[in-house]
Amino acid sequence: MKTVCLDCNTVYAPDDARWARFASLGDFEVYDRTDESEIVERCAGADAVLTNKVPLSAATIAKLPGLRYIGVLATGYNIVDVKAAAAAGVAVTNIPSYSTRSVAQQVFALLLAITNRVEEYARENASGRWCRSLDFSYRLQEWHELAGKTMGIVGLGHIGAAVAAIASALGMKVAVYTSKSQAELPEEYVKMELDELFATADVVSLHCPLTDSTRNMADARRLSLMKPSAILINTARGPLVDEAALADALNEGRIFAAGLDVLCNEPPEAECPLVGARNCFITPHIAWASSEARERLFEIAFENLKAYAEGRVQNRVN
């Protein structure tokens, strides 16, 4: 079996010794990055392809008649035309639930960066501001406890549930938009419709997949429902948010802040309206990437491919 990994650098560098495990399953070629123009040439003759962000379209799959397996090195698999793959007899697998704890932690890293401004205080004090202070303490801005505030969670899958548990531990009230019934939820969680949740919550955290119905769910109309003191957190998919509408809401002070780990284009274009927007805290799609999460991803990716080589398919999405 010949396997090609198209963009290993998203997980580990190509010379990382971990990749030797894949070579134990047959011929293995690994590339740090692959341009779309290089996909067909590099995958020629491959039985299996591993990809994180390199797209495999219907047209590309049609040019790879020997391909029988695509292993997506992520939970989301929208970079693969799964219907075209199924029609061509190509199994597509993903890596479910490997980053739940990491993403949940990043939600609160973003939230606390907004509310507590630890980095700003550390930067000010490194330049001597506290040394120059006439008082024992100083404040850059007013800040508030999270206890008693409402965390609105859109989507109560593994990550949404983990975020809800942390919010509860911090003394926050939890409101959820979910397909689950109220009877299926913990007694203290309150199910709400989406507009009600945006209007009610002090913090709205997005944890739903990107579909035609969820694209731009945080649009100008829905953002207008939020409190001026509210915070929007997005660690799910960039296109869940109308970026221009969010930038306007932030710059005009109609909502307080946003914490984003994902954007519509990654890396963002220079003219992205959220880059430099008021009170917009952006991290470069790192919520999934703790050392522990990447180890889990790698292990599941290997086990997925090993299962396929043994005539079984696990974590198939098509």
* Active site members: 237, 266, 285
Q: How far apart are CA 43 and CA 26, in angstroms?
A: 15
Question: Can you read off the two tokens belonging to residue 280?
Answer: 């917009």
Q: How far apart are the first and last CA of the chain?
A: 21
**Angle at 234 (CA atoms; ends 232, 240), nearest 5 degrees:** 100
Beta-carbon contacts of 259 under 8 Å, excluding residues fewer than 6 positions away, are 107, 110, 111, 113, 114, 231, 232, 233, 234, 281
Helix, strand or coil, per DSSP, at residue 146: coil
Helix, strand or coil, per DSSP, at residue 103: helix
Which amino acid, 285?
H
Beta-carbon contacts of 89 under 8 Å, excluding residues fewer than 6 positions away, are 68
Chain mean position to CA 111? 15
Beta-carbon contacts of 26 under 8 Å, excluding residues fewer than 6 positions away, are 1, 2, 3, 47, 309
Detail the DSSP E strand segments found in the chain: 2-5, 27-30, 48-51, 69-72, 91-93, 150-154, 173-177, 189-191, 203-206, 231-234, 257-260, 280-282
Residue count (the chain): 318
Beta-carbon contacts of 231 under 8 Å, excluding residues fewer than 6 positions away, are 111, 114, 115, 202, 203, 204, 255, 256, 257, 258, 259
Burial of 10 (C-beta count, 10 Å sphere; 0-12/13-18/19+) = buried
